[in-house]
Amino acid sequence: MLKRMKDHKMKTFSELQEGLQDPNIFKAFFLAGGPGSGKSYVVRYSTGGTGLRVVNSDDIFEKYLKDAGLSMKMPPEEWEENQKERKRAKKVTTSRQANYIEGRIGMVIDGTGKEYDKIRAQKADLEALGYDTHMIFVNTSLDVALERNTKRERTVPEDVAITSWKTVQGNIGKFSSLFRGAFIPVDNNQADDDIEMATFKEVKRLLKKKVTNTRAKSWIEMEMKNRGIKRKPKGF
């Protein structure tokens, strides 16, 4: 574990130095969608090749489950052990995200969208640092979500999936108002290629826009002065 964390720190220190050279500097996308929405597929399709870093504890969590010999079906009798591994995974992810933010690196923050107040606070914190923030909201019907959930390698108990879906649905309007023109709704009931391509084009359009947050300009100028750099990064 210690070696893994040391390797992780070495990698993120390198990423921190990237800062000014990151083509997506000061761009943050929140990803929302409940279990079975297909958001993992959507984010791969819509942000693949853009250079955005994905902040997602699920992959780490699943690795920890396998390493601990725990079932990916999340049985109730293993709940306590599962939560210990999830906590470990989130700790690593939080550290990784903090390093991205320190370098103002462009990223996708993958989540379910259940906790509106938490996302609103994160959005405000990022904007206070200079980020432009956006949201990709992946939506499906409850029937589609439940069917897909049963086909995943790591499943969520049906009652949990239903509760999550209802909570996320209740937040759609609030997120749309919060992010306004930077809200990208994705109807993923059919997982249609045309819909995924339209999402990809919208993400690319937002990435090409100049950063509008005035705090970003101040940070850029300070970093350029400290590093003796004269050429401004793309988007400024």
pLDDT tens readout for residues 67-123: 999 998 888 899 899 999 999 999 999 999 999 999 999 999 999 999 999 999 999
Q: CA angle, corner 65, sides to 59 and 69, nearest 5?
A: 145
Q: Report whether 27 contacts 132 (CB < 8 A).
A: yes
Q: Report whether 64 contacts 85 (CB < 8 A).
A: yes
SS3 label, residue 31: strand
**Low pLDDT (below 50) residues in the chain:** 1-16
Residues 6 or more apart whose CB falls under 8 angstroms from that of 228 comprise: none
Q: What pLDDT is recorded for position 48?
A: 87
Nearest to 206, CA basis, from 30, 44, 73:
30
SS3 label, residue 110: strand
Q: What pLDDT is recorded for position 65?
A: 94
Predicted TM-score (pTM) of this structure = 0.86
Q: What pLDDT is recorded for position 17?
A: 52
Alpha-carbon span 25 to 223, nearest angstrom: 13
Alpha-carbon span 97 to 205, nearest angstrom: 24
Q: CA angle, corner 202, sides to 199 and 204, nearest 5?
A: 110
Residues 6 or more apart whose CB falls under 8 angstroms from that of 108 comprise: 28, 29, 30, 31, 43, 47, 52, 53, 54, 55, 56, 136
Phi-psi region of 138 (alpha: psi -120 to 50; beta: other; left: phi over 0): beta
Pair of tokens at residue 214? 């005035």
Residues 6 or more apart whose CB falls under 8 angstroms from that of 186 comprise: 42, 136, 137, 138, 139, 195, 199
Architecture in CATH of 22-227 = 3-Layer(aba) Sandwich (3.40)
